[in-house]
Each structure stands twice: as structure tokens, then as C-alpha cells.
Structure 1
Amino acid sequence: MSIDTPPRVARRPARSRPKPGGADAVPVTPEPPRLPSRRNPKWIALGVVAVCLGGLLSYVIYARVATESAVVAMTSTVYRGEVIDAGDLTSVTLSGDPRVPTIAADLAPTLVGQRAAYDLVGGSLVAPTAVTAAAVPAAQRAVVGMKLAGGRAPADFLVPGAPVRLVALPPVDAQPGARDPYAGKTFAARTVSSVPGPDAGSLFVDVDVPANQAPTIAMLAAQERLSVVRDAGR
């Protein structure tokens, strides 16, 4: 009796690994050495110049901002004695020292309601002495209003604060040879305001005069016996 057995698989002989340095060793190519990167001198010089320019520009901007200041300026002309409104004021930024007295922009609200000490031209800077709280008229002074017919005043020159002389005229119905105590008399005054009247060429004028002369001037104004002469000055 026989027993069938599966055939045996022949084992493959194990391959021997080559020993390092042996005759069968595979040669290994070494890695090439790394070359140092080249730096372009032109780019280095440009970088240095850019850094210097950036620092200089930063200094200029800082110096300019550090010397800037906001001050008060006029948006419209306000004549001497007139009240200053909020709309008359604005702020401007100055670089460096303006070399003239100015008022800081944050103090603008304190100027509203005060009066111009002299004519403040639109676009000009406001000095600390340009405003005053003094009322018009001042002590021992009075303001008289009058209506002047055409030709009795230089209309374009009666700005507020202008020095004028009030000249008394003879009465219209004066008798020949009659002597009037006021005819030819003059009174020194300053214009407070003037606006056109309803008639062609007429004016409504307010003048600042000495308080003791106010009654006489008011009487002559009511009789339409006054003419206004603009004197030199403001």
C-alpha cells in the first residue's frame, strides 16, 4: 500500500549581500557641494538707500505734524463794534511758527458774542486783541440814529468804526440874514452801522457820539440838517 505525498518545493538559495567595500559593492555617487549664493551689490545698495529715505521721510512727517497748529480765522468781514457770530469763524492749520499772535481753534466758542475791536477782514487770522467784550456805546458815549438824504453822506465809506464829522446845515426855511446857532457847527463821531434807506440814495446811519452832544445831534437829525463827512483813519 502506498501513500501519496505532495511534492516538495525546492528552496532558492539565499543571495548573499555584498559586503561594504567588497568586490561586489555598487559605487555611490556623492552629492555635489552646495555653492554659496551670490549677493548682488546693486540690490544691497538700493536696500540701504531705501532704508535711509524711509527714515528721512518719517522724520520730515513727524517734524511737520509736531509743528502744525489749528488757529481761528475769519470767514467773513466783521467791522469794528459788530458782534461776532459762530458763522464768522473758522479754523485753519498752520505749519511752523506763524510769527504773529493767534488764537487756538478750540477757543473759538469763547469769541462768539464778543465784538470786533477793529475791522476783521474775511480770510485773516484772529489775534487775541481783535475782540473785546466792551459794549457799544461805552461809558459817557451815546448812539444816535439818523436818516440822511441822497448826497449827504459818502455811502461807500461809512463802514463801522469809520471816523466822521457831522456838519450842521442851516434850516431850510431860514430867513435871509437870520443867524442860526448850529449852522456850520461840526461834531466828531464814529460810524456804528449804515444801511440803505427806502428812498433813492438815502441812508440810515447810526453814529457813536459824546453823550453830552447826543441831544443836539438828535434834534438836528430830526430836522434833516446834518451832513456826514468821512475823515481819514479807519
Structure 2
Amino acid sequence: MVDTTPTTVRSRRNLRWIAAGALSVCLGGLGAALLYANTSNAISVVAINHTVYRDEVITSDDVKITSVAAPIGVDVVPAGDLENIIGKTALTDLTEGGLLNPRSVGDPVIAAGAVRVGLRLDPGRLPTQTLLPGTGVRLVPVAGDSGAPPSGGSVVAVVASVPQLQSDGAALLDVTVATADGERVAQLAAANQLAILQLPQAPK
């Protein structure tokens, strides 16, 4: 009588290999389908390249374009709006590597205990380098048109708008100061008795 046991074991092993191969093919096909679906649904959005803290101005180095699968229920900024984001102020801390939420950026907000004052400065009374919103400055009282020096010390402020150069060389800009200093700064500005010093900025 012939022993058929080895043939049976071999047949079972072959079936297992066939089943394993079929499963691998199915999984590979599923993975390819998912990859294709994610790729076909990818959109270009604005992402955070470097961490930006609240009240800091967003520069071109802080943001980048990235492609992601279309997020569901998540607000993002389309890549086409990148130029509109640069120069805006971070309203919340923006973490490196995250996607930019449109509600996280905007114009500078006046905090409680502060006021905003408009200045008109003659040529030579502010740095030639552009002062971006969020830049810390010191407002220094100087002699005005009358030549009489004003009383009182300097005032720390934060630039709230990019200076706008006028045809006569003067610059218009807004600054934010403590409420207690607002009235005095406004009076000095009206009398043309202010100059600006830029303060050292903390590195990012």
C-alpha cells in the first residue's frame, strides 16, 4: 500500500501559499487605491514653516506651500492666498509644521490697557529700515517747530502699521501705547515733537 501522507501535507502547504499570495495582492491593491485617492484629492495650502508667536508679524520665511489631502471640517488657507498672509499679524501662536487657519491671522488687535495713536514724522525722525507691525520702538520727545524742548521722558510703543511715505518725505504710521501715555503722545505728535528709535527685537 502506497503512503500518500507527504502529498497531502504538500497540497495543504501549497494552498496556504496561494492564499497568502492572494491576500498580499488584495492588500497591495487596496494600498494603491488609497494612495491614488489621497493623491487625487490633494490640495495646496499654506503651512507654518517657522513658529510664529502671537502679535508677531508673519514674514515670507514663516510660511510655505504644502500639499495635503483635502481636510474635512478643518479651515485652511489656499496656496493662492499666500501673498495676502505675509505682513499680517499672528492672532494666536502658530506652531511650526501646522496648517494655517485663516482665523489665526489678521490685523493687530488693541489689547486692554492700550490705545492706538497716529503719527506724522518728518524725514530723519524714524529709521530708514521699514518698521513692520509688531516692532518695538521708543517714542522720544524732541524740539518741535517752535524750538522749545518738551518735558517728560520717552515712551515705549509698538508699531501697528507700516509707515506710509508722503510726497514731502514725511511718514504716517500708527503705534500702540499704554492708555496712560496715549494723550501725551497724541499731543507731542500734533506738535511735531516726536522721533522714533527702534528697539532690539528678540530673535525668532
TM-score range for the pair, normalised by the shorter chain length: 0.5 to 0.7
Q: What RMSD over aligned residues (CA atoms) do the two structures have, in Å? A: 4.5
Q: Tell me which of 165, 172, 178 is aligned to 1:210.
A: 178
Question: Which residue of the partner structure matches residue 167 of structure 2?
Answer: 199
Question: Which residue of the partner structure matches residue 154 of structure 1?
Answer: 127
Q: Which runs of 4+ in 1 moved over 4 A?
A: 52-55, 63-72, 79-82, 103-106
C-alpha deviation, 1:54, in angstroms:
8.7
**Cα distance in structure 1, aligned partners of 2:72 and 2:137:** 35
Aligned: 1:232 with 2:204: no
User: Please, which runs of 5 or more residues in structure 2 have no aligned partner?
Assistant: 1-20, 48-53, 58-64, 78-87
Question: Which residue of the partner structure matches residue 139 of structure 2?
Answer: 166
* Alpha carbons of structure 1 residues 222 and 144: separation in structure 2 relative to 1, 3 Å: same
**Cα distance in structure 2, aligned partners of 1:119 and 1:150:** 35
SS at match of 2:112: coil
Alignment of 1:39-54 (within 5 A): none
Residues 76 and 101 in structure 2, CA contact (< 8 A), matched pair in contact too = no
C-alpha deviation, 1:136, in angstroms:
2.8
C-alpha deviation, 1:198, in angstroms:
2.4
SS at match of 2:117: strand
C-alpha deviation, 1:135, in angstroms:
7.4
1:41-96 per-position Cα deviation (integer Å, ceiling 9, x unaligned): xxxxxxxx9xx78963652442574698768527xxxx9589xxxxxxxx95327x
Identity over aligned pairs, percent:
23
* Alpha carbons of structure 1 residues 61 and 136: separation in structure 2 relative to 1, 3 Å: same
Q: By percentage of residues, which structure has more helix?
A: 2
* Alpha carbons of structure 1 residues 166 and 61: separation in structure 2 relative to 1, 3 Å: farther
Alignment of 1:107-126 (within 5 A): 107-108=75-76, 116-117=90-91, 125-126=99-100
SS at match of 2:129: helix
1:85-142 per-position Cα deviation (integer Å, ceiling 9, x unaligned): xxxxxx95327xxxxxxx9674259xxxx9632798xxx941699448x973221110
Residues 71 and 125 in structure 1, CA contact (< 8 A), matched pair in contact too = no
Aligned residues between the structures? 153
Residues 76 and 102 in structure 2, CA contact (< 8 A), matched pair in contact too = no
**Cα distance in structure 2, aligned partners of 1:190 and 1:200:** 25
Residues 166 and 226 in structure 1, CA contact (< 8 A), matched pair in contact too = yes
User: Please, which runs of 5 or more residues in structure 1 have no aligned partner?
Assistant: 1-48, 83-90, 96-102
Aligned: 1:94 with 2:68: yes
User: Which one-letter code corresponds to 2:100 in the other structure?
Assistant: V
SS at match of 1:194: coil
